[in-house]
Amino acid sequence: MKGSVTVVMPALNEAENLAEIVPELCSVLVSEGVSFDVLIVDDGSTDHTAAVLNQLATDPRIRGIRLRRNFGKSAALQAGFAQTMGSYVLLMDADGQDDPTEVARLLNKLDEGFDLVTGSRRTRRDRFVKRITSRLFNTVTKLFTGVPGTDFNSGLKAMRKEVADQLNLYGELHRYIPVLAHWSGFRVTELPVNHRLRRHGTTKFGSARFWRGFLDLLTVQFLTRFTARPLHLFGGLGIIFSLAGAGLLGWMLVLWVTGQPVGNRPALLTGVLLSVLAVQFVSLGLIGELIVHASGRSDADRLVQDRVLPEGSGYVTAVVPEPAPRTSDSDR
């Protein structure tokens, strides 16, 4: 593998695990001959993670940043992405359950032409409830997004830096990194990996995170399918409401023409309501299209993988000169 690797490791109250897992990871990477640096993101820990991080940072290959408070894993990863220096980015949890010996296999998979590789935990070393909810989450995500995968939320991932630069994580969107990368045109795959028991502490997983993850699935659906064409979503809903409203109002018209009273029929009010909603949804879609057009959301350059120019084509990159500094009246 050509290029160095930056390991981004978010940590929340994982002091004991960090003291063990980071030296183990460094030892594995050295034995594999990988040029690397480790970036630990302290997500507002309240234990002695800061002290452990200061001790680990005596190794020049280990860096750390600390967030002002606990913002969540997505925010921690996004903060880490902004500080990456390697050509490749490796994501790894700080609880010790991700096996460092699997790192080389993930990185080698990138050499096969993939842009992101997720470590699929075939034998989960977690509580029964967590395993069941995770399986349900992965099934629903695969069904809704159409992206192949069995373990979207695995914390062990390897990617090219271009993928990390494209990601914009917040909320619980870290669960959908493979989906977001796939919809950005990157080649995504999975690789079965070993999963270990947690060494110290307790899991940060809770039922609230489970439901937030499913709500963020709707966000992912909108971001990946309709961000650049909002009229397709809101206009489609408007058409459905308009057809339903037109059907009810047409029925009321037939009844009124035949001499039957319609003023006190709920169907009349429902038809009017659906017609008004149809106009509102279509208008919302048109406004969204105007916003997309005005903001230049298409941003074609971010979709380009590389450029191949014929030799001697005379291609010249345009350079816009900087404006001359303004002079004050006193300088004249």
Residue 310: what pLDDT? 55
Q: Is the pTM of this model over 0.75?
A: no
Residue 133: what pLDDT? 77
CB 42 within 8 A of CB 66: yes
CB 87 within 8 A of CB 2: yes
Nearest Cα neighbor of 231 from 288, 279, 296 is 288
Residue 295: what pLDDT? 65
Q: What is the DSSP letter of 64?
A: E
Residue 208: what pLDDT? 59
Residue 327: what pLDDT? 47
pLDDT tens per residue, range 299-331: 555 555 555 555 544 444 444 445 455 444 444
CATH dotted code for 5-225: 3.90.550.10
CB 73 within 8 A of CB 174: yes
pLDDT tens per residue, range 231-270: 878 888 889 999 999 999 999 999 999 888 888 889 999 9
Residue 315: what pLDDT? 42
Strand order in the sheet with 36-42: 62-66, 36-42, 5-11, 88-91, 157-160, 116-121, 188-193
What is the rounded CA–CA span in Å between residue 117 and residue 109? 7
Residue 139: what pLDDT? 83
- Domain positions in the chain are 5-225, 230-303
Site of tokens 């939320």: 153
Residue 102: what pLDDT? 92
The parts of the chain modelled with pLDDT lower than 70 are 1-2, 204-214, 293, 295-332
